[in-house]
Amino acid sequence: MNRFVVISGCSGGGKSTLLAELALRGYATVEEPGRRIVREELASGGAALPWVDALAFLRRAAQMALADLEGAGGSGGWVFFDRGLVDAASALEHLTGEPTLAQTEAARRYHRHVFLAPPWPEIYETDAERRHDLDSALPEYDRLLRDYPALGYAVTVLPKESVTARADLVLATLAGGS
């Protein structure tokens, strides 16, 4: 059984907080590629930033997501990913018009069940790594809500509840085998 689980959805919807809770419970987690890339690019003066060179940023995000999958291969338990290859491929397809999703066979390496954090205006914040506003994040969420099921994933939209309740839901869903 595939134990690589994607937590995706709207920017600022509580994905990173949920992954932190899962890590506190002893599960392996993988930080979002986009945030790591932005930190690296800001530190080095690079241009592969979503607000400078979105194409370079998304190509790096796809490469990093593939490397994350390969690096997590030795784990015996659940591994939770803050976004993944499908997210990068979806954004690349939207940006370029090229059929990136259909060609991304590696995207099927994740567990069939994906959890999406919906838009949550009450907790949305911008920061040095997330400069876009919520209105800019909504179209991405809509694409992911369409693209994950189109690739055969079962999607659960996370309720706007406490991080503890969200983590309990994720683990109960996975334990139920759905």
Of 18 and 122, the structure prediction assigns the larger pLDDT to 18
Average model confidence (pLDDT) for the chain?
85
d(CA 155, CA 159): 12
Phi, psi values for residue 154, rounded to 5°: -85, 130
Q: For residue 28, what are the β-bridge partners?
A: 79
pLDDT at 40 over 60: yes
State whether residue 82 is helix, strand or coil.
strand
Of 75 and 35, the structure prediction assigns the larger pLDDT to 35
pTM over 0.75: yes
Average pLDDT score over residue span 32-40 = 88
Domain boundary assignment for the chain: 4-175
- CA distances (Å), origin 127, targets 35, 124, 132, 146: 11, 10, 9, 27
Average pLDDT score over residue span 110-134 = 70
Average pLDDT score over residue span 45-54 = 88
Sheet of 154-157, strand order: 28-30, 79-82, 4-9, 113-117, 154-157
Class of domain 4-175: alpha beta
d(CA 178, CA 163): 21
d(CA 136, CA 152): 26
d(CA 105, CA 116): 21
128-174 tens-digit pLDDT: 555 555 567 788 899 999 999 988 899 999 999 999 999 999 999 99
What is the per-residue pLDDT for 11? 79
